[in-house]
Chain A
Amino acid sequence: GQQVMQIPQYQHVQEGEDFTTYCNSSTTLSNIQWYKQRPGGHPVFLIQLVKSGEVKKQKRLTFQFGEAKKNSSLHITATQTTDVGTYFCAGIRATGSYQLTFGKGTKLSVIP
């Protein structure tokens, strides 16, 4: 079945440092979505990428979708304590299933 791998599993950064999490799918994706889950909370939709090589920005967050539509990354510039949480990528396969498959997430801790 489809697998979505995400690294690193944990990341501790000093406030103001940058942070990147990487996502790789075993199959080509039709789109990839990113979610943030605060401790004790539920996943909250951040963004969806659809086109090969697409780059989208939301303030300090930059999202990229690979040319082959199998990998993606999320980069946060100058982290703040409000960025704390687990960031999940989730993909839908290009063919067949519409099932949204989540990666294991990267848990971000920001040290003030």
Chain B
Amino acid sequence: EPEVTQTPSHQVTQMGQEVILRCVPISNHLYFYWYRQILGQKVEFLVSFYNNEISEKSEIFDDQFSVERPDGSNFTLKIRSTKLEDSAMYFCASTDGWAGPNYGYTFGSGTRLTVV
């Protein structure tokens, strides 16, 4: 079964450093998302991406965050200057190309980001 692949699985970074989280969505999917989950809490929407541009973003997705699709397969989330409160599990997700956002999301296994 097709998977969404995320790397790295764990990332520890110093406060103020930049991090890039990487994702390879399912190949025929066209809608991509980043969500985060602080330990034990709910899954929170960060951003959606379609047709090489951001479709929607939440209040969490401020100027410190950016997303990019640098080639035909990767989808990245960059945090420019990490804060302690950015510590969370970050999930990438994608949805079926033709059905778009109104369809079940396939989530990756996540990157656990720890800011120290």
Contact = CB atoms under 8 A, between A and B. Distances in A.
Interface residues of B, number: 23
The A interface is mostly helix, strand or loop, or mixed, namely strand
A42 B42 contact: no
Contacts of A51: none
Interface in A33-89: 33, 41-45, 47-48, 50, 88
A42 B103 contact: no
Given A97-B56, A105-B42, A48 B109 contact: no
Contacts, number: 54
Contact of A100 (B45, B106, B108, B109): B45
Contacts of A103: 42
B55 interface: yes
B102 interface: yes
Contacts of A101: 45
Contacts of B51: none
A39 B110 CA distance: 13
A48 B48 contact: no
B97 interface: no
Contacts of A45: 104-107
Nearest to A31: B102
Interface string A79-112: 0000000001010100001111111110000000
Contact of B107 (A31, A43, A47, A105): A43
Given A33-B104, A97-B56, A102 B44 contact: yes
Nearest to A42: B107
Question: For A42, A45, A50, A104, which residue has the most chain B Cβ atoms within 10 angstroms?
Answer: A42
A97 B47 CA distance: 12
A70 to B, nearest CB: 17
B32 interface: no
Contacts of A97: 56
Question: For A41, A102, A103, which residue has the most chain B Cβ atoms within 10 angstroms?
Answer: A102
Interface of A: 30-31, 33, 41-45, 47-48, 50, 88, 90, 92, 97-105
Pick the 6 closest A-B CB pairs, nearest first.
A45-B104, A98-B101, A102-B43, A104-B42, A42-B107, A43-B107
